[in-house]
Amino acid sequence: MKSNRHFQSSSNLVAQSKQKPRTYKQPWRKLMWLDQNYPDNYVDSSFLSQLKRNTTVSQYSYWKLVSDFSLISMHLCDTSIVIIIFYGLYNRNWSPYMPTLICSLLTILGYFAWDFLAILKNKVSGNLQEKLSTLKSSLLIVFTILTLSPVLRSLTKSTSSDSIWALSTWLTIFNVICHNYEFDISKEIKYRASVLSTNILFSNVIVLSSRLSSNMSVFCFILVSIQVYGLFPVFQYRLRKNLSHTICSWLGIVYFAIVSMLMSRIIQNYIIVFSWFSINFFIIFFCPGYFIFLQQYKNELQGPWDPARPKF
């Protein structure tokens, strides 16, 4: 009897295994709150039908990336110009009037070039009221710096020079890291400097100016730094927006050559000069290639389960 029962139960299991798969009347829906007649571990054939892979991956051009990475080199050139001027004022006893005069003349020429580019693009020039407002703001900044120069010169009088150099080095590094390198020629937006980078930048300028020997040197150094750090990036942004890629590339090469020549002639430290060329070569030519190389490891999945992003 026991063998017969065992044989019958085995026959029933075999018969059940040969039955057709279970069919469901209602189609499966991807809704957790809906009570459906499906097991918890059920996976429908349409579950991954809308899976997309690497839809946001773009095909980058090496020379386009070289142009984009050159923005880092241009900011390094701006930083080097300010450091070279400070080095000349602090160690070479330069007259503070000559760097200020050169930078001010270049700023005035840049302003007229800015107005000329605006005429070419919009066929209209800035009105007189706007120009007077710009002149008024510039004079206000100049007189404010002139008034605060004695205070800034004595700001770190009780601090050792080694501490000042270390602080300035770290501020320079943080400024380079936090600087806004975003540039998109397709968007009609104004240049926006990083607030954090700007604060770090002028903190570094104030720290360095406090080591100069005269109030006029402090005034001229801060004024030159504002022109190099504050005005030149905006002018450079306008040039890249309105001029061809070839012209901007040549202007960047000329600017880099001038900075490199000043560094080799004034600082006269071959280790610094070699490091300068090595860092710029690494940033401009190696980093774009490495960035393209890393794109092959990108594996991004997109699907209907992704969180919705609001459109503004």
Confidence bin at 58 (pLDDT 50/70/90): confident
Report the pLDDT averaged over residues 285-303.
82
Contact at 8 Å (CB) between 118 and 125? yes
Per-residue model confidence as pLDDT tens digits over 250-265: 888 898 999 999 888 8
Report the distance separating Cα 142 and Cα 146, nearest Å: 6
Lowest mean per-residue pLDDT among 180-184, 199-203, 226-230: 180-184
In a domain, 184, yes or no: yes
CB contact burial 25-41 (16+ within 10 A = b; e otherwise)? eeebeeeeeeeeeeeee
In a domain, 136, yes or no: yes
Report the pLDDT averaged over residues 82-92.
90
Report the distance separating Cα 33 and Cα 25, nearest Å: 19
Report the pLDDT averaged over residues 159-184.
87
Report the distance separating Cα 49 and Cα 69, nearest Å: 39
Per-residue pLDDT, 133: 79
Query: Residues of the chain with pLDDT > 90: what percent?
Result: 17
Per-residue pLDDT, 5: 46
In a domain, 87, yes or no: yes
Per-residue pLDDT, 281: 93
Report the pLDDT averaged over residues 179-194.
71
Report the pLDDT averaged over residues 96-124.
79
In a domain, 239, yes or no: yes
Encoded amino acid at 206, one letter:
I
In a domain, 309, yes or no: no
CB contact burial 216-232 (16+ within 10 A = b; e otherwise)? bbbbbbbbbbbbbbebb
Per-residue pLDDT, 7: 40
3-state secondary structure the chain: CHHHHHHHHHHHHHHHHCCCCCCCCCCCCCCCCCCCCCCCCCCCCCCCCCCEECCCCCCCCHHHHHHHHHHHHHHHHHHHHHHHHHHHHHHCCCCCHHHHHHHHHHHHHHHHHHHHHHHHHHCCCCCHHHHHHHHHHHHHHHHHHHHHHHHHHCCCCCCCHHHHHHHHHHHHHHHHHHCCCCCCCCCCCCCCCCHHHHHHHHHHHHHHHCCCCCHHHHHHHHHHHHHHHHHHHHHHHHHHHHCCHHHHHHHHHHHHHHHHHHHHHHHCCHHHHHHHHHHHHHHHHHHHHHHHHHHHHCCCEECCCCCCCCCC
Q: Token pair for residue 204?
A: 């570094």
Which of 20 and 193 is assigned the larger pLDDT? 193
* pTM score: 0.74
Q: How many domains does the chain have?
A: 1
- Residue 112 reports pLDDT greater than 50: yes
Lowest mean per-residue pLDDT among 26-40, 128-142, 214-228: 26-40
Structural domain including 277 reads 62-297
Give the number of other CB atoms < 10 A from CB of residue 77. 22
Q: Token pair for residue 240?
A: 């890249």
Contact at 8 Å (CB) between 306 and 50? no
Average pLDDT, the chain: 79
Per-residue model confidence as pLDDT tens digits over 28-47: 776 777 777 777 777 776 66
Report the pLDDT averaged over residues 257-284.
89
Query: Residues of the chain with pLDDT > 70: what percent?
Result: 78
Report the pLDDT averaged over residues 95-124.
79
In a domain, 235, yes or no: yes
Lowest mean per-residue pLDDT among 130-134, 155-159, 199-203: 130-134
- Residue 11 reports pLDDT greater than 60: no
Encoded amino acid at 148, one letter:
L
Angle between helices 62-91 and 161-178 (to 10 degrees): 160
Which of 282 and 244 is assigned the larger pLDDT? 282
Angle between helices 161-178 and 195-209 (to 10 degrees): 160
In a domain, 36, yes or no: no
Confidence bin at 173 (pLDDT 50/70/90): very high
Report the pLDDT averaged over residues 178-187.
74
